[in-house]
Each structure stands twice: as structure tokens, then as C-alpha cells.
Amino acid sequence: MQPVHVWIRSEARGTERRAPVVPADVPALLDAGFEVTVEESPQRIFPIEEYDAAGASVVAEGTWTDAPHDAYVLGIKELPDEPESLRHQHIYFAHAFKGQEDARRTLERFRRGGGRLLDIEYLTDTDGKRVVAFGYWAGYMGAALGVLHLAGTLTAPLHPMAKHELDEHLEQAGKAGADELLALVTGARGRSGRGAQRALVTASVPITRWDRQETRDLHKQALLGHDLLVNCVVTHTPTTPFVEHADLEHERRLRVLADVTCDVTGPTNMLPVNTEITTWQEPVRQLHAGNPEHGSAPLEVIAIDNLPSLLPREASEGFSADLTPHLLGLADEGGPSGPWRAAGRAFDQALAELDA
């Protein structure tokens, strides 16, 4: 039986600094009989020399297209636009199963090439719960950016940093008056919600915590009575949005939406007042100028879809620790099982729905 081959590709997005598997976790795969190949990358937070020292094979950037047919090509974010046909099994966050923008083209590329997409978002256990995610650090970073913007200390373009640096900025913001803000975290009990709360606590910002019950029994005026909304709710079924266009003219204190979920182009967007991501170059965008006559403040949004990459080392280490044991499951006798089988079913269903 051929060893399982995991090919860690470079990232196409210039602001993507994370790694799905860190050098320290490569030996666990090698010891299990895996073959591990890592592409060179000019932006990855971990130097290629560390992967080489850990025993991985090192190849040139972007050579995954020539990888052996049975290799699992592992990444974080979207693939480059070429090639048009994808023949490998790819593991990454594709955001292509809920009708998002460009989802059809992504799936068509796999169908043309005969490849498969094992979307990390759909690696779930028997209860349907995700087994690996960057959520904690996404929530942490999203809430942090919201606080720093409201404190007037957020500068663009954004740059990756270490957690201790970010925490110093948050503590200073708290001392400078951010502790008088009111923040609401939706999805407070999830990974992202817990991360968001930790950042807000660091800045001494008072927190209102909403989870399933509160978001189901939505109290719009209570929501609009906060300065900052940190949205950490992921849903696969359309439900009542948190902030709609009709809410913008109402009396409200709400000034900043930090959309950690960032599902801005899908039908389950909980903040339909925004339908575009923001970027490291322009992290904040105004959605509404406000209306003093109605007591509504200007409303801005932060919707960066790779927030954890701003804390790349911490985010990668935590993610790799969770993902590596599941990668070992790719070698199960009879083929990948458990969460991998769940991800495969999600892909097959998405393909079937293309022509429905």
C-alpha cells in the first residue's frame, strides 16, 4: 500500500501568512508513514528551513499542479485561478457549498478535472460539530480590530503581529477609554465567540453575550444599543438577520460591525447591510453616514476573511495541533473515514446541486 502523501502548498493570497501544519507537527506524520512535501513560500510565517529540518521534502512554490495524482494538496485559502481543471484531492477552506460568490466556478473546476474538495469547514463529527477551525483567533482578532478602531488607534494597512504586541495595544485602548464602550458578541459560546470575549476582556470592554436563545429571540433595540457588534454566528439555514437596512435609520448606538463569520455573499449572511469583504489595506468601510435627526450614528464594518493570518504563528500552531491527528485518519484502512467522509459527502451534495 502506497503511503499517504500530504502536499502543503504555498498560498495564492499575498496576505496569507498561516500554515495548516507547522514544522513541529511534521514528524508525527512522518512517523505514521506519511510522505510530506512542503512548497517554498515567501510569506509563510514558518521558514522553509524549519520544514526541511523536520524531515519534509521541499519543493518550489506552486508546483502542486505536478504533484502525484494521489497526493492530498493541503492549504488554507483559495486556489489560484489556474489551472481550470483540478485533478487532485484538495483540503482547504473553499467557501463554495452555500451559494457564495464564485462557488459554481470552484466546483466546476473540480468536476472538470475529476478532483475532490475536502473542505475543512465540513470536517465534522457524528454530531455535526466541526473538529478543526481557526475560530478562536478569528474572534480574537475581529474583536480586537473593532476595539482599536473605536479607540481611534487602528492604522492601515494592517500587518501581522505577535499576540503580546496586540495585547499591549488592547490594554492601552482600555486605559484610554475603551472600557466605556459596550460590546455585544453573538455566538458567544463558540470558538470565535470565546476568542472575541478574551480580546474584549483584555481591553476591559464590558461584554453582552448572546448565544442560540438570544439570537433566536432577537431583540433588535437591545442589539442596536451597543457600540460594537462582534458577529460570530455561522448558520447554514437562512434566519432573521442581526442588522438589516431598515435598522440603519432607527435610533441606535451601534457604530461598528466586526463580522468574524464574514459570510458576506451567501444567502445566510447575518449582516446583509454588508455584502463585501474589507482588506488589510482598507480594513474599515462605512456602511451608513448616520442620521442625527433619528439619533443614528455612522455605521462602519470590518469584514476581513482571513483574520487569523494577522496572528499567524499562534493561529497556525493551534490549528495544526487540531488538524494533524485528523490527517492521520487519511490512512485508515478502507479509505478516509469519520470527518473526512463527512466532508466528502458535503462535496458530493454540492456537485449534485449544481444542476438542480
Tell me which DSSP letter residue 65 carries. G
C-alpha cell at 200: 474584549
C-alpha cell at 224: 442596536
Q: What's the Cα-to-Cα distance from 32 to each of 149, 329, 349, rounded to whole Å?
A: 46, 10, 32
Q: Are 245 and 273 in contact (CB under 8 A)?
A: yes
- Please tell me whether residue 73 adopts helix, strand or coil conformation: strand
**What CA–CA distance (Å, rounded) separates 285 from 208?**
24
C-alpha cell at 108: 466546476
Q: Name, in order, each residue with C-beta under 8 angstroms of 7's C-beta and a sequence gap of 6 or more.
A: 37, 39, 64, 67, 71, 72, 73, 74
Q: Is 327 exposed, middle or buried (0-12, 13-18, 19+ CB in 10 A)?
A: buried
Sign of CA pseudo-dihedral 326, 332, 335, 337: negative
Sign of CA pseudo-dihedral 58, 60, 62, 67: negative
Side chain identity, residue 348: D
Residue numbers annotated as active site: 77, 95
